[in-house]
Amino acid sequence: MSSQHKHLGWIPWAFVVLWSTGFIGAKLGLPYIGPFTFLAVRMALTLACFAVLMRVYAAPWPSLPVARRQWVSGLLVHGVYLGGVFAAIKAEVPAGLTALIVGLQPLLTALVSHIAFAERLARRQWLGMAVGFAGTVLVVAGTRGLDFHAGYGLAWTVFALLGITAGTLYQKRHSGGANLLAGTFHQYLATLVFTGALALAFEHDQPVVWSAELWVAMVWSVLALSVAAILLLMRMIKEGEVARVVSYFYLVPGLTALEAWALFDERLSAAALAGMALAAAGVALVLRVPARGARV
């Protein structure tokens, strides 16, 4: 491991902690606003933050071809993924089921990387992926349960899974060449257009109640998730091999369960605690073995 990677070793853990609060923010804010309206407002505020950051750090503006690739990444990583998750939660899909389906991302990403891009993983890393997923199942079963929810809401969770998987792979393979701040700005610009169009089409007649809970959820979602966590994720994707990066997502349901227990008094059983340990073991297996022939 290089000294640079050792120096940046805090990034994945900071990302996991921040990313785990996404479900908490959604649960707090969505009773007062439509999911696409929430995301459109969030994107607009986030763009304002990035405009300031770009000016402060004199970030160079990307060329049109580079910007177009960022638009595609933004639509997948932010628009499709966040839109799917928020729409599913608004449709009352159980948080446990949503977390479980989206939790398939590391396995799906590793499988697609292996087949399409010849990104090889050692057997121990495949075992780590499976162990991590088993831990995720235990966390979900030991907290919110695995209740089935039929209808279009369940389809939104699958939509989110496909979006974050495709977006992560696309970002790694095709979105180089842009300054981190400017590239992320363009990603959010495309996401604002996407979520704004959906909000106008499906939520124009839904009232927005600007409660204290909604303000807290909105401010946290902008600063902690859309700014801090996404910049960390983009840095991780740029610096690391895709399968290793996405393996950290296995830790998210466990942290979310702890946060829900602390904030909303949700159940936290021995099975959930065991699942957290199992998910951590799975991530450790993935990270310990160098991937032979992988592109970094």
Q: How do the pLDDT tens digits run along the chain, 296 residues long? A: 444 445 567 888 899 889 888 878 888 899 999 999 999 999 999 999 999 999 999 999 999 999 999 999 999 989 999 999 888 888 877 666 677 678 777 778 777 877 776 667 678 778 887 887 888 777 777 665 555 555 677 788 889 989 989 988 888 777 667 788 999 999 999 999 999 999 999 998 999 999 999 999 999 999 999 999 988 988 887 777 666 777 788 787 778 778 877 877 767 778 777 887 888 888 777 766 554 444 33
**pLDDT of the residue at 2:** 46
Cα 81 versus chain centre, distance: 7
What CA–CA distance (Å, rounded) separates 236 from 115? 22
**pLDDT of the residue at 210:** 95
**pLDDT of the residue at 296:** 30
Q: Which helix (H) or strand (E) holds 140?
A: helix 123-141
Beta-carbon count within 10 A of 223 CB: 15
Cα 259 versus chain centre, distance: 17
Q: Which helix (H) or strand (E) holds 143?
A: none
**pLDDT of the residue at 291:** 43
Per the structure block, which two tokens stand in for 13?
Answer: 């853990």
pTM for the model stands at 0.80
| Cα torsion 162, 195, 33, 225: sign | positive
What CA–CA distance (Å, rounded) separates 263 from 257? 10
